[in-house]
């Protein structure tokens, strides 16, 4: 009897465990034509460390294949994932950058000290024309961050004129003299950056008044209307958003939000290693990145008070994981490795942005090359693609696709006395009617049995792709560049009219339903 009872208890416990490893999704129809803007998948190239110099921009006479000093292997990699926009020149650097120093003959351009990032001297050989050539090669839209912190209204106004005016004027003529006859017609224009901090240490009230002054003279030239983006909140500073929405309102196209995932949860002391961490630190890191959903929701609610029609975009133009730099590298260069953990972080954040695409119209991962949660790392003539790059490659199916809301019930991932949702997801339908579902399982040991219902959808086949690895600390290196890459996923099948998925631990999966 005791053995029978023990067996019954064991079976009951097993049943509970199985139930706890089950998840359920119901895909709902899109009733308001909401679209996931491709600009959510934007990127960021600041004059910081080796992002521009020794990243995109190689030295004169370099043997690395390049076109006019722009590194071609990076260009081809970014074209493959169809990056929709690229933010430049900063970041904190933007508010000490004076654009006139970066145009004209390169041998006559003055040098400058990058006081924000490492105190290095730059020769200004990469400036406006070089950046616009890079954007042309990438077939991407430029997103310019203007200098409010140390610049003047006149300086910004003349830069807009230099970019966008097609006619006779001092700045248009200077552009022509410097080799570009036609205006570039730049649309995305940031009026300052982190004005609460490195961009001037301003109050929200002072900045919102300055925004209106600077934005007034950032003119809309014929055929080149600006999408003006105000410098928004640092993480949970909801007062900043409240003040800007109240004082600026719809005089801006977008309002920014910056939030970084810190493994330690604190800017003081060590942030945590990019590659050497245990499960407890991993759990805390994922919990910190999931907080993005709460932060976006609360800022969106404030914006809804003043802008119920959602005309102002929430622009999350700095996000990603920020760890300690790699040992032996310049602490001002913010060079960090990129692990399987970072792939999960990328997938989580992109799912969050997709699910808030009624308000989030643009976002920019920090940063593209050799800095923070980079897509690409370089070492002389070598280049590797990070796990984060492969997530953007998977998720490009969501670009400008119709958003599909969902109801998600997920088991928890438990660590000690704490728990977080094990699964997060988003879904869209492209112009051919194909449905794509992106899934992230953050649990390090459990396969999640996921059942998805698609009411009203007549579908026949499902295929998938996956990013996963044996250890959460696994990375791609210059000696083993393809340890983590996209592989076919065969763990999804049709059962009646439901989609049934065995979602492996620590994985990012895209399903294609037709």
Q: How far is CA 309 from the centre of its chain?
A: 25
Query: Is 122 among the residues known to form the active site?
Result: no
* 417-421 own/partner pairs: CB under 8 Å, 24+ apart: 418/283, 418/287, 420/283, 420/286, 420/287, 420/290, 421/290
Q: At what angle do helices 170-177 and 153-164 cross, to 10 degrees?
A: 60
Q: For residues 210 and 216, what is the distance between their CA atoms, to the nearest angstrom?
A: 10
Beta strands 188-191 and 401-403 are unpaired
- Nearest alpha carbon to residue 131 among 107, 162, 156: 162
Catalytic residue among 96, 122, 130, 318: 318
> Which residues contact residue 417 at a Cβ distance below 8 angstroms, ignoring those fewer than 6 apart?
none
Q: DSSP string spanning 17-30?
A: HHHHTEEEEEE---
DSSP H helical ranges for 26-169: 72-80, 128-138, 153-164
Residue 491 has phi, psi (to 5 degrees) of -90, 20
Residue 309 has phi, psi (to 5 degrees) of -85, 0
Hey, how many other C-beta atoms are within 10 angstroms of the C-beta on 440?
27
CA angle (17 as vertex; 427, 414 as ends), nearest 5 = 70
Catalytic residue among 168, 194, 242, 294: 194
Q: Name the token pair of 171.
A: 């700045």
> Which residues contact residue 271 at a Cβ distance below 8 angstroms, ignoring those fewer than 6 apart?
262, 263, 264, 322, 323, 324
Query: Is 168 among the residues known to form the active site?
Result: no
Provide the 8-state DSSP code for 417.
T
Q: For residues 487 and 201, what is the distance between their CA atoms, to the nearest angstrom?
A: 46
Sheet holding 498-503, edge to edge: 406-409, 22-27, 448-453, 498-503, 492-495
Q: State the catalytic residues.
A: 194, 318
């Amino acid at each position: 009897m005791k053995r029978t009872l023990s067996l019954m208890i064991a079976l009951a416990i097993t049943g509970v465990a199985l139930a706890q490893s089950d998840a359920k999704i119901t895909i709902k129809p899109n009733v308001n034509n909401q679209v996931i803007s491709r600009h959510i998948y934007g990127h960021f190239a600041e004059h910081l460390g080796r992002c521009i110099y020794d990243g995109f921009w190689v030295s004169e006479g370099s043997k690395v294949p390049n076109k006019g000093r722009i590194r071609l292997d990076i260009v081809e990699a970014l074209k493959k994932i169809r990056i929709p926009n690229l933010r430049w020149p900063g970041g904190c650097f933007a508010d000490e950058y004076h654009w006139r120093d970066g145009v004209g003959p390169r041998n006559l351009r003055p040098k400058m000290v990058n006081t924000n990032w490492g105190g290095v001297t730059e020769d200004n050989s990469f400036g406006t024309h070089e950046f616009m050539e890079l954007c042309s090669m990438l077939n991407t839209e430029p997103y310019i961050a203007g200098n409010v912190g140390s610049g003047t209204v006149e300086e910004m106004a003349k830069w807009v004129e230099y970019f966008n005016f097609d006619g006779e004027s001092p700045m248009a003529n200077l552009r022509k003299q410097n080799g570009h006859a036609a205006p570039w017609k730049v649309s995305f224009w940031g009026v300052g950056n982190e004005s609460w901090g490195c961009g001037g240490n301003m109050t929200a009230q002072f900045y919102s008044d300055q925004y209106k002054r600077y934005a007034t003279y950032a003119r809309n030239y014929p055929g080149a209307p600006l999408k003006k983006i105000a410098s928004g909140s640092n993480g949970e500073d909801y007062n900043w958003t409240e003040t800007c929405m109240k004082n600026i309102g719809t005089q801006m196209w977008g309002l920014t939000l910056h939030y970084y995932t810190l493994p330690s949860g604190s800017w003081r002391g060590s942030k945590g290693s990019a590659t050497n961490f245990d499960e407890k630190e991993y759990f805390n890191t994922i919990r910190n990145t999931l907080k993005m959903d709460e932060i976006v929701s609360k800022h969106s609610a404030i914006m809804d008070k003043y802008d119920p029609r959602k005309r102002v975009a929430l622009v999350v133009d700095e996000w990603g994981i920020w760890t300690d730099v790699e040992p032996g590298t310049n602490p001002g260069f913010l060079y960090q490795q990129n692990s399987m953990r970072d792939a999960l972080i990328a997938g989580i954040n992109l799912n969050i942005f997709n699910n808030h695409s009624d308000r989030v119209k643009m976002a920019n991962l920090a940063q593209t090359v050799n800095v923070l949660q980079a897509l690409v790392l370089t070492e002389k003539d070598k280049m590797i693609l990070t796990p984060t790059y492969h997530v953007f490659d998977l998720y490009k199916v969501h670009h400008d696709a119709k958003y599909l809301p969902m109801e998600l019930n997920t088991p928890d991932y438990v660590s000690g006395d704490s728990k977080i949702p094990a699964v997060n997801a988003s879904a869209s339908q492209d112009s051919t009617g194909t449905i794509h579902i992106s899934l992230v399982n953050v649990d390090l040991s459990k396969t999640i049995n996921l059942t998805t219902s698609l009411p009203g959808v007549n579908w026949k086949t499902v295929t998938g792709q996956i990013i996963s690895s044996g250890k959460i600390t696994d990375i791609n290196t210059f000696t083993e560049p393809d340890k983590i890459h996209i592989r076919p996923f065969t763990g999804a099948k049709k059962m009646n009219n439901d989609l049934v998925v065995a979602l492996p631990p620590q994985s990012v999966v895209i399903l294609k339903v037709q």
